Structure 1
Amino acid sequence: MIIIPAVDLKNGKCVQLVQGEPGTEQVIIDNPDEVAMHWINKGAKRLHIVDLDGALGSGENLEIVKKIIQKSEVPIQMGGGIRTIEDAKKLLESGINTVIIGTMAIKNPEYITQLSEEYGSERICVSLDSKDNKVVTHGWTEYTDKSPVDYAKIFEEKGAGSILFTNVDVEGLLGGVDLKPVKELLSNINIPIIYSGGITSLNDLKILSELGTDYVVIGSALYKGLINFEDTLKFQK
């Protein structure tokens, strides 16, 4: 299992929101590029960047991202505000290793095939955010009629190289992991699963590792000091 620190960007700063809600910032740090390097120096093998301004349609943080790319020696996966194929290509050609595509993929599944064929499936990740076991889109505000497993099967066939699964029911609440949907994905899907949401303790990581989870993204628990990143390395491949 690879442990991936989250670097969420908003208004040029590194932040952590509760349940993804604007205005709930509990962590605000200047110089996100230094934050990124902090995690790399601690042993991170990969970084997870989300452009919250892009996701909320209130701007972008691409210049900061480019600064992180220049400094980083590890792969970077990034999502937030990718609404068109051109948006995805812009990030892929700027040096992002893997783009994470959410609502656009649900609306246009054929775009995943197109991008995978052009850039390689390993660089294309589909984000599936789940509420009440239904995939939600548009910043978690609109429900679809399909479960994460239903959509994951579709995108596996379309050529996605990985699935980022975020359990919105527990995201940002620091209350632990709900294992049922993770188990369902791992038993039904062959491409790597990146898990995010609710990780609070090393025991959460132990359980996810034992289940065979490929990657885990951690945000709030790291920034609030509930988990020491060096302690997570014992679960890392």
Structure 2
Amino acid sequence: MFIIPAVDIKNGKCVQLVQGKPGTEQIVLDNPAKVALEWEERGASVLHVIDLGGALEEGGNLSVVEEILKEVSIPVQMGGGIRSTEDAIHLLNMGVDRIIVGTLAIKNPDTVNVLSREFGSERIMVALDSKDSKVVVRGWTEKTDQTAPELGTIMKEKGAGGILFTNVDHEGLLDGFQIEPLLELLKAVKIPVIYSGGVSTLEDVATLSQTDAYGVVIGSALYKETINFEDALAYQEK
């Protein structure tokens, strides 16, 4: 199970929000590229980069993403504000190893098929963000009437190579998480699933390592040091 540090970007800075809500910044660091490099130097084998400005339709941070890609040598998975096939292609050609599409994929699932055929399914990940048991889109501001297992099955059939499952109910709160929604999704789809949301202790990491999760994205807990990254890495091979 991969231990994946989150580098979330807003207004050119590395931030951590509570449940994705603007104005709830708890961590603000000036140089996202430097932060990304530090995670690589500490042993990260993949980075999770989210353009929060793009996701919230406030304007993107692509120049910052370019700086990160130049700075690090490990794979980068990136999402946030990918609203068109052209956006997706631009990022893939820019050097992002795996894009994470949410709103675009859910509003137009055939996009996943097109991108997977052109670039390979392993480079296309679909974000399924769950709030009150339903998937939400547009920076978590709009709720659909479908569950993550329902949409996960559709995305797998369309050629998605993986799923990022975020439990928005726990995102950024450092209050732990419920394992059942993840287990339901893992049972429904047989492609890699990366979990995110509420992971706040080493015990949470240990719990996830006992599932079939492909990886876990950790943000606030690493920046607030409620989880030591090197300790979490001990579970990467388990």
Class of the TM-score when normalised by the shorter of the 2 chains: over 0.9
- Structure 1 window deviating more from structure 2 (57-66 vs 152-161): it is 57-66
Paired residue secondary structure (1:211)? coil
Write out aligned runs for 1:70-109 (5 A): 70-109=70-109
- Stretches of structure 1 that go unaligned for 5 or more consecutive residues are none
- Residue number in structure 1 paired with 2:224: 224
Write out aligned runs for 1:145-184 (5 A): 145-184=145-184
- Residue number in structure 1 paired with 2:43: 43
Deviation of 1:188 (Å): 1.7
Cα distance per residue 1:128-172 (max 9 Å; x no partner): 000111111122122211110000000000000000000011111
Q: Size of the alignment, in residue pairs?
A: 237
Paired residue secondary structure (2:54)? helix
The sequence identity of aligned pairs, in percent, is: 58
- Residue number in structure 1 paired with 2:189: 189
Deviation of 1:24 (Å): 0.6
Paired residue secondary structure (2:116)? helix
Q: Distance in 1 between matches of 2:139 and 2:89?
A: 22
Paired residue secondary structure (1:166)? strand
Deviation of 1:31 (Å): 0.8
Deviation of 1:26 (Å): 0.5
- Structure 1 window deviating more from structure 2 (76-85 vs 132-141): it is 132-141
- Residue number in structure 2 paired with 1:133: 133
- Stretches of structure 2 that go unaligned for 5 or more consecutive residues are none
Deviation of 1:18 (Å): 0.6
Paired residue secondary structure (2:234)? helix
- Structure 1 window deviating more from structure 2 (60-69 vs 21-30): it is 60-69
C-alpha RMSD of the superposition: 0.7
Cα distance per residue 1:78-132 (max 9 Å; x no partner): 0011000000000000000000000111110000000000000000000000011
Q: Distance in 1 between matches of 2:62 and 2:136?
A: 25
Q: Distance in 2 between matches of 1:204 and 1:116?
A: 32
Q: Distance in 1 between matches of 2:103 and 2:93?
A: 21
- Structure 1 window deviating more from structure 2 (183-192 vs 77-86): it is 183-192
TM-score norm. by structure 2 comes to 0.98
Amino acid of the structure 2 residue aligned with 1:174: L
TM-score norm. by structure 1 comes to 0.99
Deviation >3 Å, runs of 4+: none
